């Protein structure tokens, strides 16, 4: 009886995979890789956006406090109030204003603005990809 089973199983042809199965598998793998990359991009976008929005008031406050304490505003107001004296001593006024500019506060504020603009640019550049991921994740 065992030989009968062997005869039956030897006549069976191996199943053929459906047409286009390999292409569909490759396409599914690529979609998963794109979704993984989009997740990273979305996480990076939102983390940069949150960091820049949280840091904005602090960097502005640091810059404003340093502008007041270093006396930069008093030099600028003196120059604007006495334009004839400013044009006579413009080199001295310019050097005094440049020496009193708070570099640390200014650099932090500019970096924060640049980070915010970079994040918004990244969003506008990749919005189709991000919105496609968000729509796909809610389905």
Give the pair of three-digit tokens for residue 112.
């924060």
In this predicted structure, the answer to whether residue 36 has a pLDDT above a threshold of 90 is no
Q: How many helices (H) and strands (E) does the chain have?
A: 7, 0
Instruction: Tell me what pLDDT residue 107 has.
Output: 93
Question: pTM higher than 0.75 for the full model?
Answer: no
Burial class (CB in 10 A: 0-12, 13-18, 19+), 64: middle
Q: What is the pLDDT of residues 96-138, one digit of tens each?
A: 888 888 889 999 999 999 988 888 887 777 666 666 666 666 6
Q: Report the distance separating Cα 19 and Cα 128, nearest Å.
A: 32
DSSP one-letter code for 82 = -
Q: Give the model's confidence band at 27: pLDDT under 50 very low, under 70 low, under 90 confident, else very high.
A: very high
Angle between helices 21-70 and 103-125 (to 10 degrees): 160
Instruction: Tell me what pLDDT residue 130 has.
Output: 62
Domain ranges of the chain: 19-138
């Amino acid at each position: 009886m065992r030989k009968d089973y062997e005869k039956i199983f030897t006549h069976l042809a191996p199943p053929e995979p459906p047409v286009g199965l390999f292409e569909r598998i490759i396409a599914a793998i690529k979609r998963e890789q794109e979704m993984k990359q989009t997740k990273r991009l979305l996480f990076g976008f939102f983390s940069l956006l949150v960091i820049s929005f949280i840091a904005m008031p602090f960097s502005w406050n640091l810059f404003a406090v340093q502008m007041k304490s270093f006396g930069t505003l008093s030099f600028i107001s003196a120059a604007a109030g006495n334009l004839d004296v400013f044009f006579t001593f413009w080199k001295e006024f310019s050097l005094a204003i440049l020496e009193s500019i708070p570099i640390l506060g200014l650099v932090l504020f500019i970096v924060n603005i640049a980070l915010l603009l970079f994040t918004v640019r990244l969003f506008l550049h990749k919005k189709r990809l991000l919105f496609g991921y968000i729509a796909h994740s809610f389905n």
